[in-house]
Structure 1
């Protein structure tokens, strides 16, 4: 398979996860925030950190997903998605939600490979703008 098409498929696969997570959470932002703060109520993380993150998370997921799906500022979108995932990994370990950790590690692996092979990102707005 052409490396450019393989890159596109991988980019879209990881994108659907971020874009989808953000998209479904945005309309129910208050409910999501209450759920998330509830999850962290027994952790040592203070509400002053958890509450703003619970509101920012869906917006950041959606923004990263949007950047990745159209291939505009792809590198920055992948880095944003990576930082969000690292924050999620930290939170996951703080509440000992070990079942969620493998999925987050897979996301980091995908994002790392996409960043390493960024020159193959040919089917993207970034490429059009560089011409």
Structure 2
């Protein structure tokens, strides 16, 4: 029972975190995209790719966050979240943003726990029958 509760609380925490990122960025999307594009000017990544990714990012965060909060398609949501973090790590490495990468590695660790303990996911939409 404690494992199920712990899983629920961690899943909910990650969901709120990601959803919050998305909700904060979507209303000021153009400012966010401009900031990301400026931040990656010294990167070898093509500017259009940075713009496309930074435009999609808040919506991906929102969708993955809501899925985690609800426990809907939890395994897929966790894999999507982990993949998103890998993409962020890759991007951060191109501009040598080691501080951001440290934080992103913490997210990666949380997703490791969520993925490896998905059998503890008992309080979720997935478990409703």
Q: Using the TM superposition, give the Cα deviation of residue 14 of structure 1 relative to its aligned residue in structure 2, in angstroms.
A: 1.4
Secondary structure in 2 matching 1:100 = helix
Q: Using the TM superposition, give the Cα deviation of residue 80 of structure 1 relative to its aligned residue in structure 2, in angstroms.
A: 0.9
Aligned to 1:44: 44
Q: Using the TM superposition, give the Cα deviation of residue 12 of structure 1 relative to its aligned residue in structure 2, in angstroms.
A: 1.3
Partner Cα distance (2:116, 2:64) in 1: 18
Q: Using the TM superposition, give the Cα deviation of residue 15 of structure 1 relative to its aligned residue in structure 2, in angstroms.
A: 1.5
Equivalent pairs counted in the alignment come to 129
TM-score, structure 2 normalization = 0.96
**What do residues 74-106 of structure 1 show as CA deviations (whole Å, max 9, x unaligned)?**
111111111111010001111111111111001
Partner Cα distance (1:17, 1:55) in 2: 18
Aligned to 1:59: 59
Partner Cα distance (1:19, 1:81) in 2: 11
Partner Cα distance (2:80, 2:22) in 1: 13
Query: What pairs up with 1:1-131 in 2 under 5 angstroms?
Result: 2-128=2-128, 131=129
Secondary structure in 1 matching 2:99 = coil
Partner Cα distance (2:25, 2:77) in 1: 19
Partner Cα distance (1:10, 1:104) in 2: 16
Partner Cα distance (1:76, 1:101) in 2: 23
Partner Cα distance (1:17, 1:92) in 2: 19
Q: Using the TM superposition, give the Cα deviation of residue 11 of structure 1 relative to its aligned residue in structure 2, in angstroms.
A: 0.7
Any unmatched runs of 5+ in structure 1? none
Secondary structure in 2 matching 1:41 = coil
Partner Cα distance (1:48, 1:30) in 2: 14
